[in-house]
Structure 1
């Protein structure tokens, strides 16, 4: 691509991108909260992963952020304004939810139908077709596109107005491994340009090599928000321990304030090294039959945070 294209801004010319602020956001359907008092911030110059299992409230939150659903309480702001209060929203926020396309329309015609509201012309549509790797397929009907091709077209649609904010709902769905790597590099480039990027996913493993920050939700509530590095610190250590005296082992864990979860015939002690568990058991006279350090990866931490027994937190 030549230096004369305007596919993406350069870091030197991009003004400070807007921050996304979600404050006490709540949405109730039929008396049940789909989103429950959610508060978090998405900063410019970073890719933020919006993570949680299916049904956690991610898409409902994004729909409220984009003015597609009205909050029961709270608010979602982009640069201090609601989406609807921006004069030309498509030039501020580019979004891709579940792609909805007319099956009889070609890829290039789909982009052309959104070009005018974004203030761009046919040249920009062609430029984005090239950027997302759909050259040679732009005149094919979208009804014949694969899921991955539709995801690429959805991203091209989000980028029409060259927005400083990108909000993408499960953008890796349907992409093959090569496509996931391509998406990762693209989003990293956007963040390097100073844009604000929010990407939802139901699997941390899918985005852990892409994101800088994480916001984790479960059952409509915030359970964790931090940098990815801070989340990784929680994956550093765990110890599996088993004793013939379960009651004594339980008392020992409670006495030391260890976070534990049942595993097999013993306990998995989170964030405590095996040597410390062994020393404490020896000092207390608690017999041990097994004492094993366990590797805990980021996906294990994510699954623990989103388990039904996890405690929600109040904010970042």
Structure 2
């Protein structure tokens, strides 16, 4: 396996006439971590990945694997494994034959194909024609193809599409295993909840531009815990909040405490014998932060 290489996007732009699909975008992806490349549909994620993989020429800027563009890599399959399409398979070939066709080009034996089909859960279906595969099975086959050369950089575009809940859990575990091996893992998605249990870092784009880049913990710092309480004895709750030095404010027909979660307030109220009729989190959650950053409507978030 080649040494791990970071991914660097440096002032990258791609214009289609007057449309700026990617606009002066810069970010970095570190080895040994799973980075979520996030944004709504049409944000420029796939266009960025296509430029990174040498499938599209930038209008300006650079997209690098290590210190080289993809087209400059001497052994690209041993350096980068990528999936952009889960449907570009010959429907008449079996899953095994599909991998065997590419194995000589990558420089791996046929045994590697069987090994990968076992890894992605397609061992029992490896001799079936791909035309009969479900979307989730094609996603798994695409991932097996990407891993043929045991690359140090893994780039996946919406890899959870078509996977059932069990498949999504499996994918999360696999990506974590890749990162634990020191690989550089970049995963795009338009749904934060789909990747938030997996990623270490996040790069969020909207309308082709960077709107946020940090660790997942850094993104969580933008959330706000606010608990709304309804009680028949509000004075007793005010006294409790004062003693605990909680930040309390008045709300119509209720009290709100900032920075303290429901469990903590509920336990303290129970210990003081304070009757509660309502105890609810009304703060800004991670998904709402994501929607606000990308300019998406937030009505109904948390409902």
Given the two structures, how large is their TM-score scaled by the length of structure 2? 0.80
Q: Is it true that 1:87 corresponds to 2:78 in the alignment?
A: no
Instruction: Tell me how far apart the structure 1 counterparts of residues 91 and 288 of structure 2 sit (CA, whole Å).
Output: 40
Q: Is it true that 1:36 corresponds to 2:39 in the alignment?
A: no
Deviates more, 1:103-112 or 1:59-68: 103-112
Instruction: Tell me how far apart the structure 2 counterparts of residues 277 and 33 of structure 1 sit (CA, whole Å).
Output: 45
Instruction: Tell me how far apart the structure 2 counterparts of residues 29 and 104 of structure 1 sit (CA, whole Å).
Output: 36
Per the alignment, residue 232 of structure 2 pairs with: none
Instruction: Tell me how far apart the structure 2 counterparts of residues 112 and 16 of structure 1 sit (CA, whole Å).
Output: 25
Contact 1:38 1:220 in 2 (8 A): yes
1:271-290 matches, cutoff 5 A: 275=247
Unmatched 5+ stretches in structure 2: 229-245, 258-281, 298-303
Per the alignment, residue 96 of structure 1 pairs with: 83
Q: Tell me, what secondary structure is at the counterpart of 2:96?
A: helix
Instruction: Tell me how far apart the structure 2 counterparts of residues 205 and 308 of structure 1 sit (CA, whole Å).
Output: 15
Instruction: Tell me how far apart the structure 1 counterparts of residues 152 and 10 of structure 2 sit (CA, whole Å).
Output: 21
Contact 1:16 1:44 in 2 (8 A): no
Q: Is it true that 1:57 corresponds to 2:44 in the alignment?
A: yes
Per the alignment, residue 300 of structure 1 pairs with: 288
The structural deviation recorded for 1:239 is 8.7
Query: What is the root-mean-square deviation in Å for CA atoms of aligned residues?
Result: 2.2
Contact 1:48 1:211 in 2 (8 A): yes
The structural deviation recorded for 1:290 is 7.3
Q: Is it true that 1:177 corresponds to 2:177 in the alignment?
A: no
Instruction: Tell me how far apart the structure 2 counterparts of residues 116 and 58 of structure 1 sit (CA, whole Å).
Output: 31
Per the alignment, residue 100 of structure 2 pairs with: 112
1:68-79 matches, cutoff 5 A: 68-79=55-66
Q: Tell me, what secondary structure is at the counterpart of 1:27?
A: strand
Contact 1:215 1:222 in 2 (8 A): yes
Instruction: Tell me how far apart the structure 2 counterparts of residues 30 and 70 of structure 1 sit (CA, whole Å).
Output: 14
Deviates more, 1:292-301 or 1:115-124: 292-301
The structural deviation recorded for 1:237 is 3.3
Given the two structures, how large is their TM-score scaled by the length of structure 1? 0.77
Contact 2:25 2:210 in 1 (8 A): yes
Taking structure 1 as reference, are residues 15 and 238 closer, same or farther at Cα in structure 2, changes over 3 Å only?
farther
Per the alignment, residue 188 of structure 1 pairs with: 176
Deviations 1:224-257 (A, max 9, x none): 00000010111133699xxxxxxxxxxxxxxxxx
Deviations 1:46-75 (A, max 9, x none): 000000000000000000000000000000
Q: Is it true that 1:139 corresponds to 2:127 in the alignment?
A: yes
Instruction: Tell me how far apart the structure 2 counterparts of residues 164 and 188 of structure 1 sit (CA, whole Å).
Output: 14
Q: Is it true that 1:26 corresponds to 2:13 in the alignment?
A: yes
